Amino acid sequence: MPIRVAVPKETLEGECRVALDPVVAKRFAALGCEVRMEHDAGAGAHYVDDDYEDVSFVTDKAELLGNAEVILKVQPPDEDEINQIAEGSIVVGFMSPHRYPERVKLMRDRRITSFAMELIPRISRAQGMDALSSQAAVAGYKAAIMAADRSGRFFPMLTTAAGTIRPAKVLIIGAGVAGLQAIATAKRLGAVVEAYDVRSATREQVQSLGAKYIDTGVAAEGEGGYARELTEEEKRKQLEVLAKHITQSDAVITTAAIPGRPSPKIISKEMVDNMKVGSVIIDLAAEGGGNCEVTKPGEDYVYGCVRVYGPFNVPSMLPVHASDMYAKNLLNFLTPMIKEGELKLDWEDQVIKDSALTHDGEIRHEPTRALVEGDAS
Ligand code: NAD
């Protein structure tokens, strides 16, 4: 019997991505899987059913989910979906366990094996599975486009018969995966780009993209290559230097995050008050509360004379390539588990161990287990 892989249509409002694009669907079929999808599952990403070869489409979602060994999702499965998935099956997707502890509990109780894409360890071997990175790259690109679109100015320098136009000044705060892609995109659009990150290791990466690195004298490398939270003194020092750059910018894109913590507030209300008329802030950290004090998460509005946008789910705004990249991440994650047309999970493998959220009636991710079961062991 081939491994039955199912892809339902995403149910979260506004989610346009799909977990499998036609190219990767074919690759799963070539691995010996029987791929089934819900009718119109790819529509949000502009893929019609006919684009998928070697895939059968069904309209009965309960039947689809109930007869699959592996279910591929973008967003966490909702409670209806979890109840339709057969006990013992595997579901893979972003799981946002802190946001949806009830769903984790339900998956545990239904003995579903769930793998959370956001828990895949960031080790070299797993780079091709790293959906946080692929989707952050999409968000960074789109942030630069959104900034250019909301600006009343050209980004590039232009020499025309009607005069010479100076390039826009763009500041990127946070030079992780999203920030670096925002830098590269703003550069391609011709802006003069400056960037800042608390991890000093980013200096060379920023410079290699042709942007200027702002040195605030604050370095805050934390565990696992991530940033740590700054002390009050470090925050003060950082803001003092950044304030000048923020007020001189035509567009500021913020991407700063600290895993498991609310987004650090880097741009104060006072700094926004001092920004140039018509400047733009794109706050990619909005889902964690935002990097700017005046960001209204999810809203696009004008504060004083500055356009401030804290978008949610930016990867879904570029659904074709976000889906293609995500599907590839899923393929890279699942391929090592498929041996001679059968699913074989090696529980000694770090990637499998770390990314497992629930398995065999247990919550395997300790912080989530403590949250859901109410104690820390
Ligand atoms: P992230 O989304 O956690 O944070 C975005 C950026 O914000 C980070 O660069 C962080 O240093 C920065 N930041 C945090 N607080 C800040 C502050 N107060 N001021 C300015 N900047 C601040 O980051 P990410 O894109 O997920 O990347 C985090 C780390 O993971 C990086 O070291 C990256 O190189 C690493 N990484 C490794 C792999 C891999 O090896 N497979 C893949 C992707 C990322």
Dihedral of the CA atoms 253, 291, 326, 359 (nearest 10)?
170
With the most atoms of ligand 1 within 8 angstroms of its CB, the residue from 197, 214, 215 to mutate is 197
| Secondary structure (DSSP) of 232-273 | HHHHHHHHHHHHHHHHH-SEEEE----TTSPPP--B-HHHHH
Task: Report whether 79 contacts 11 (CB < 8 A).
Answer: no
For 101-120, what is each residue's pLDDT tens digit?
999 999 999 999 999 999 99
Q: What is the domain partition of the chain in residue ranges?
A: 4-129+319-373, 139-312
Percent of the chain with pLDDT over 90: 89
Q: Residue 129 burial (CB < 10 Å; 0-12/13-18/19+)?
A: buried
How far does residue 89's CA lie from ligand 1's centre (Å)?
Answer: 33
Task: Estimate the share of the chain in helix, then strand, then coil, as percent rounded to the nearest 5.
Answer: 40, 20, 40
Select which of 99, 109, 127, 236 is catalytic: 127
CATH number (3.40.920.10, 1.25.40.20, 3.40.640.10, 3.40.50.720) of 139-312 reads: 3.40.50.720
Residues with a CB atom less than 6 Å from ligand 1: 122, 124, 127, 130, 132-133, 136, 173-179, 196-199, 225-227, 230, 255-259, 264, 266
Core vs surface per residue 135-159: b (16+ CB within 10 A) or e? bbbbbbbbbbbbbbebbebbbeeee
Q: Are strands 158-160 and 163-165 parallel, antiparallel or unpaired?
A: antiparallel
- Tokens representing residue 58 in the block: 């069904």
Q: What is the pLDDT of residue 220?
A: 81
CA 75 to chain centre: 11
338, β-bridge pairs: 343
For 122-145, what is each residue's pLDDT tens digit?
999 999 999 999 999 999 999 999
Rounded Cα distance between 93 and 374, Å, is 24
4-129+319-373 shares its CATH topology with 139-312: yes
For 33-74, what is each residue's pLDDT tens digit?
999 999 999 999 999 999 999 999 999 999 999 999 999 999
How far does residue 16's CA lie from ligand 1's centre (Å)?
Answer: 26
- Kindly state which CATH superfamily the domain 4-129+319-373 is placed in: NAD(P)-binding Rossmann-like Domain (3.40.50.720)
With the most atoms of ligand 1 within 8 angstroms of its CB, the residue from 218, 229, 235, 258 to mutate is 258
Secondary structure (3-state) at 56: strand
With the most atoms of ligand 1 within 8 angstroms of its CB, the residue from 226, 235, 236, 333 to mutate is 226
- Closest atom of ligand 1 to CA, residue 230: 18
Q: What is the pLDDT of residue 370?
A: 95
